[in-house]
């Protein structure tokens, strides 16, 4: 995808983090923006900010875990702009702890947003984009799904998050192959950021009341939350820089997008474990102090 001016971008999780920076980057390129999020106040503030700059923008309250709301997002987009060119399936939440200590509600919430939010975006918007391509011989489209380095390795106390992001990797690689198979004019990219200050460690603020746990967090869940907060806040790459990397990848039709290449060492080792039939290696081998810190917190 080379042309952005006057093209339509749909962004889920748009009110904060990567989503907000995607919106800023798209606005600078002259795009028309459809912003979706569950956090109504932050969404309205972003809509007002961009509208005040003369950007054509539509804000839609949307819980991506609910297929009917993603359909409503698509319907609102077509009613306002009559096309979709760029889709960011970006909404995400986090939850940690020893994997057997996570409740059914934890699984429903994280998989609902992180995985099924992407699934609903793909299955609802891809046919719309294909239809747009049939009507426009110059059509260019692109879909970006936000996964994580957690989708390429399996660190302890991050079970649900790991599972959700591994699934997003699989969905996106398959989407790429399927679009290639039918020779569609739609590119695909997989965003796998490392630790970036986005506020995802505060995602509990948007957890629906019906998915709240009745019991207090376990020791491992408190330890995982503390580690996540420290790691995310300490991230050296900003969300704005990741947005720039992402738009560069869209222009160049690159599939894999990384905010940091350092974790690929452990990813490579994991692939070698698979091929050589070794027991799984320690994902924290390069940073053993992290594992020691987690163990110390669990013992306490």
Evaluate whether 50 touches 57 at the Cβ level (below 8 Å).
Answer: yes
Quickly list DSSP for 104-115: HHHHHHHIIIII
SS3 8: strand
* Set 161, 176, 194, 258: catalytic member: 161
Known catalytic residue at 161: yes
Exposure letters 165-197 (e unless 16+ CB within 10 A, then b): bbbbbebbbebbeebeeeebbbbbbbbbbbbbb
Evaluate whether 73 touches 10 at the Cβ level (below 8 Å).
Answer: yes
Helix residue ranges per DSSP H, the chain: 17-28, 40-52, 67-81, 104-110, 116-135, 159-181, 219-233, 239-252, 264-276, 288-299
Exposure letters 56-88 (e unless 16+ CB within 10 A, then b): bbbbbbbbbbbeebbebbbebbbeebebbbbbb
Distance CA 6, CA 209 (A): 39
**Any idea which residues carry the catalytic annotation?**
161
């Amino acid at each position: 995808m080379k042309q952005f001016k006057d093209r339509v971008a749909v962004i889920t999780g748009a009110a904060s983090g990567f989503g907000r920076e995607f919106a800023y980057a798209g606005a600078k390129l002259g795009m028309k923006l459809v912003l979706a999020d569950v956090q109504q106040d932050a969404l309205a503030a972003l809509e007002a900010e961009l509208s005040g700059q003369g950007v054509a923008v539509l804000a839609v309250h949307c819980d991506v875990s609910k297929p009917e709301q993603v359909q409503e997002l698509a319907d609102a987009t077509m009613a306002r702009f009559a096309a979709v060119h760029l889709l960011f399936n970006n909404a995400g939440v986090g939850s940690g702890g020893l994997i057997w200590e996570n409740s059914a509600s934890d699984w429903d919430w994280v998989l609902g947003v992180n995985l099924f939010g992407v699934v609903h975006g793909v299955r609802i918007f891809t046919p719309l984009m294909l239809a747009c391509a049939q009507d426009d011989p110059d059509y260019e489209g692109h879909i970006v799904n936000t996964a994580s380095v957690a989708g390429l390795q399996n660190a302890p106390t991050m079970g649900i998050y790991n599972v959700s992001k591994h699934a997003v990797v699989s969905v996106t690689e398959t989407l790429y192959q399927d679009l290639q198979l039918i020779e569609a004019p739609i590119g695909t990219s997989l965003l796998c950021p490392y630790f970036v200050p986005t506020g995802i460690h505060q995602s509990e603020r948007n957890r629906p009341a019906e998915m709240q746990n009745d019991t207090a967090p376990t020791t491992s869940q408190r330890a995982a939350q503390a580690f996540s907060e420290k790691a995310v806040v300490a991230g050296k790459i900003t969300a704005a820089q990741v947005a720039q990397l992402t738009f560069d990848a869209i222009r160049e039709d690159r599939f894999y997008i990384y905010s940091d290449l350092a974790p690929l060492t452990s990813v490579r080792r994991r692939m070698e474990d698979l091929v050589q039939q070794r027991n799984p290696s320690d994902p924290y081998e390069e940073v053993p102090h992290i594992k020691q810190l987690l163990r110390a917190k669990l013992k306490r």
